[in-house]
Amino acid sequence: MIYTTHSESETEALGARFAAKLAPGTVAALYGDLGCGKTAFVRGMARGMGIAGPVTSPTFTIVNEYDGPRPLFHFDMYRLGGADELFDIGWEDYLARGGVCAVEWSENVPGAFTGDEVTVRFAKTGDNDREITIEGGPGLC
Amino acid sequence: MLILSVESSCDETAVALVEDGRKVLADEIFSQVALHSLYGGVVPEIAARSHLEVVTLLADRALETAGRTRADIDAVACTYAPGLIGAVLVGVNFAKSAALALGVPLIPVHHIRGHIAANYLAYPALEPPFLCLAISGGNTMLVDVRGYTDMSVLGRTRDDAAGECFDKSARIMGLGYPGGKPLDDLSRQGDDRTYDLPRPAVHGDNPYDMSFSGLKTAVVNIVHHAEQTGQAPDRPGLAASLCRAVSETLVGRTMDAAAALGYENIAVAGGVAANSRIRADFEAACRREGRTLFVPPLRLCGDNAAMIGAQGYYEYLAGHTAGSDLNAYATMAL
């Protein structure tokens, strides 16, 4: 499905609707360039999963963990050189923990995915407009 | 009290010897920036591996520089959070082993508390309470430092850190990694009114929270629009406008908090404190409002182990030591 948003808060709201029904263990692979709204979307996912508190960019730490009814693991692969380095950040361990994994910059780690993931692609269609394509998953709430 | 301290949370591996939290006897740093610049960012696997290779060598060199022996070490301090988990683990495990082998206390130190403590090394007379703005590649927070180990976060970034905004904007502008220094240099050749960038508005009830994600997006838009119309953006002008926008947000929030809480002393900490525009704006604002500004010299602004030794001393005095079960954490409240 293709969705269009016109502001950061609309992108966040879409993220909330997207995450509301996601099963534990779901991997959401996010694709899109700098400034496309990926972190805003994941912030919305956290809200949709009943997680309060600040959701900030994980670029520096690679992964931020958020506790909630379903835990959310927010990855940013921006600084990773390839799938080899997934091992060093404990990717397999996170998969085994049964939370929802939201993965920014999935472009950088094709080896992380098995085909079971939900794919979310972000494209800028204007300064504030975004086209967000979601493939797989249970659909929006 | 002589503390051997270790810092390995990101790009730099560092080991220092600090006496009584204030006097630096040795401050050894090995930077991995050259390695990482090849990849356009920090690659954690490489970070962890190079930390491991150099940490013991740096410790030996620190002792040699200070003219001390292992027997002189009274405690070992290390950064245990936050940072790249694989990198932090190297420093934590080295510190654990050293403390165990020497039979001395092990002191875990929060990386941001260390950055704040860099001010104690630079300014021997500075004591809490004061207000501190901690700005780095991974963190942006305004901290109420009531005591050496008694502090709370007044406000923070809601999305990207200030340093991340600089790094990513620099990457969009083709300035390489790390982007802070080249962006700063370029900005000094430009007019800061060239582009009208947004002053990030934060919705919510905390007047001290900040946001920098929108600024990064605005830089993307300017560069893309220029490309589409076949024109080159005014890069020095864009760099200067960006530095101005970031600085006005940081300095504005800090001065508001200082006035509201009645703090006369304002300290700045972290790698982004090296930005010349932010320094100049803080100096001007403090002069105007009659407050005293503390900014560590450049070497102490970046990641280093001396700052961990400084904070480690005060953590020790507060009884904050750990056992061999100490773990490393990617994220941790201040």
Residue A52: list chain B partners with CB under 8 A.
none
Measure the CA–CA gap between B128 and B43, rounded to whole angstroms. 37
Amino acid at B7: E
Residue B183: which of B198, B165, B197 has the closest Cα? B165
CB contact under 8 A, A88 and B164: no
* CB-closest option in A59, A61, A124 to B83: A61
The pLDDT of residue A26 is above 90: yes
Which residues from B are below 8 Å from A127, CB to CB?
A: 221
Residue A35, helix vs strand vs coil? coil
Q: Which residue has the higher pLDDT, A53 or A108?
A: A108
Question: Is residue B39's pLDDT more than 60?
Answer: no
Which of chain B's residues have a Cβ under 8 Å away from the Cβ of A85?
Answer: 43-45
Question: Which residues between 95 and 124 in chain A have a beta carbon less than 8 angstroms from any beta carbon of chain B?
Answer: 124
Contact call for residues B9 and B83 (beta carbons, < 8 A) = yes
Residue B44's pLDDT is what?
56
Q: Read off the pLDDT band of B97 (50, 70, 90).
A: very high
- Is B23 in CB contact (< 8 Å) with chain A? no
Give the domain B128-300 fold.
Answer: Nucleotidyltransferase; domain 5 (3.30.420)
Q: Least CB-CB distance to B330: which of A63, A80, A88?
A: A63
Which residues of chain B are within 8 Å of residue A89 when distances are taken between CB atoms? 44, 85-86
Domain with CATH 3.30.420.40 in chain B: 2-115+302-317, 128-300
- Judged on CB neighbours under 10 Å (0-12, 13-18, 19+), B290 is exposed
Q: Phi/psi at A20 (nearest 5 deg)?
A: -55, -35
The predicted pLDDT at position A54 comes to: 82
Q: Judge whether residue B217 has pLDDT over 80.
A: yes
Report, in angstroms and rounded to the nearest whole number, the Rg of chain A calculated over CA atoms.
14
Kindly report the average pLDDT of chain B as a whole number.
91
User: A81 and B43 in contact by Cβ < 8 A?
Assistant: yes
pLDDT bin (cut points 50, 70, 90) of residue A3 is very high
Confidence of residue B46 (pLDDT cuts 50, 70, 90): low
Per-residue pLDDT of B273-283, as tens digits, reads 999 999 999 99
The verdict on B291 touching A (C-beta cutoff 8 Å) is: no
This model's pTM is above 0.95: no
Judged by a CB distance cut-off of 8 A, whether residue B277 touches chain A is: no
pLDDT digits (tens, 9 = 90+) for B231-267: 889 999 999 999 999 999 999 999 999 999 999 999 9
Q: Is the pLDDT of residue B38 over 60?
A: no
Mean pLDDT value across residues A112-131: 94
Asked if A39's CB is within 8 angstroms of B160's CB, the reply is yes
* Domain covering A2-129 in this structure, CATH number: 3.40.50.300
pLDDT band for position B315 (50/70/90)?
very high
Q: Work out the mean pLDDT of chain A and round it to a whole number.
A: 90
Shortest CA gap A17–chain B (Å): 20
Q: pLDDT tens digits for B143-152?
A: 999 999 999 9
Nearest to B158 among A34, A54, A87 (CB): A54
Whether A90 sits inside 8 A of B168 (CB atoms) is: no
**Residues A78, A84, A85, A91: is their CA dihedral positive or negative?**
positive
Shortest alpha-carbon distance between residue A117 and chain B (Å): 24
Of B84, B164, B216, the CB nearest to A62: B84
Most distant CA atoms of chain B, gap in Å: 67
Q: Which residue of B has its CA nearest to A77?
A: B43
Q: Is A40 within 8 Å of chain B by CB?
A: yes
Contacts of B83 in chain A (CB under 8 A): 61
Q: What is the pLDDT of residues B103-133, one digit of tens each?
A: 999 999 999 999 999 999 999 999 999 999 9
**What's the confidence (pLDDT) of residue B279?**
95
pLDDT value at residue B75: 98
Query: Three-class SS string for B184-238?
Result: HHHHCCCCCCCCCCCCCCCCCCCCCCECCHHHHHHHHHHHHHHHHCCCCCCHHHH
> What pLDDT, on the 0 to 100 scale, is given for residue B166?
95
Q: Residue B76 pairs with which residues in a beta bridge?
A: B4, B106
Share of chain A above pLDDT 70, in %: 97
Task: Taking residues B73-102, report their average pLDDT.
Answer: 93
Average pLDDT over residues A59-72: 85
Question: Alpha-carbon distance B184 to B123, whole Å?
Answer: 25
How many beta-carbon contacts under 8 Å exist across A and B?
A: 90
User: Among residues of chain B, what percentage have pLDDT more than 70?
Assistant: 94
| Angle made by CA atoms B1, B4, B7, in degrees to the nearest 5 | 135
Task: With cut-offs at 50, 70 and 90, classify the pLDDT of residue B40.
Answer: low
Which residues in B lie closer than 8 A to residue A64 (C-beta atoms)?
330-331
Least confident segment among A78-82, B16-20, B155-159, B238-242: A78-82
Q: Give residue B173's pLDDT.
A: 92
| Predicted confidence (pLDDT) at residue B45 exceeds the cutoff of 60 | no
Q: CATH assignment of B2-115+302-317, given 3.40.1380.10, 3.30.420.40, 3.10.20.740, 3.40.50.720? A: 3.30.420.40
- Does the structure show a pLDDT above 90 at B11? no
Domain boundaries, chain A: 2-129
B121 close to B310: Cβ distance less than 8 angstroms = yes
pLDDT at B53 over 80: no
Q: B160 vs A85: CB contact, 8 Å cut-off?
A: no
